[in-house]
């Protein structure tokens, strides 16, 4: 974003473009620990299989997340964030 601000100060990028790009900049999504994943799943009364189905991933992936063998990344991390902030209804 600093480069963009420099371009704005020099007159190469206008305020409208700055606002539009600013709206596209999303905050970083937190990482989820195994305990957080279990807690979130239980909060919504989901089995591991149900969570896997909603996220369109394998049951073994959910198990590995909860055992700490793997970490959710990319779209899965964003889905966990969305589920935490907006509820399971946002995903189904």
Q: What mean pLDDT is predicted for residues 8-23?
A: 81
Higher pLDDT, 9 or 58: 58
For residue 71, report the phi and psi dihedrals to the nearest 5 degrees: -120, 140
Taking only the tens place, the pLDDT of each residue in 30-73 is 899 999 999 999 999 999 999 999 999 999 999 999 999 999 99
Q: What is the DSSP secondary-structure string of 15-64?
A: HHHHHHHHHH-PPPPPP--HHHHHHHHHHTT--HHHHHHHHT--HHHHHH
* Domains defined for the chain, CATH in brackets: 1-30 (no CATH), 34-90 (1.10.260.40)
What predicted TM-score, i.e. pTM, was given to this entire model? Answer: 0.70
Q: For residue 5, what pLDDT is reported?
A: 79
For residues 21-46, b (16+ Cβ closer than 10 Å) or e, as one string? eeeeeeeebeebeeebbbebbeeeeb
Q: Which of 18, 11, 6, 88 is nearest to 55 (CA)?
A: 88
Query: What is the rounded average pLDDT for all residues in the chain?
Result: 89
Q: For residue 79, what pLDDT is reported?
A: 93
């Amino acid at each position: 974003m600093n480069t963009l601000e420099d371009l704005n100060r020099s007159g190469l990028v206008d305020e409208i473009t700055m606002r539009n790009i600013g709206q596209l900049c999303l905050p970083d999504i937190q990482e989820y620990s195994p305990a957080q994943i279990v807690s979130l799943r239980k909060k919504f009364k989901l089995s591991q299989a149900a969570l896997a189905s909603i996220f369109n991933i394998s049951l073994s992936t959910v198990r590995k997340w909860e055992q700490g063998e793997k970490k959710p990344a990319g779209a899965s991390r964003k889905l966990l964030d969305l589920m935490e902030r907006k509820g399971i209804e946002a995903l189904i």
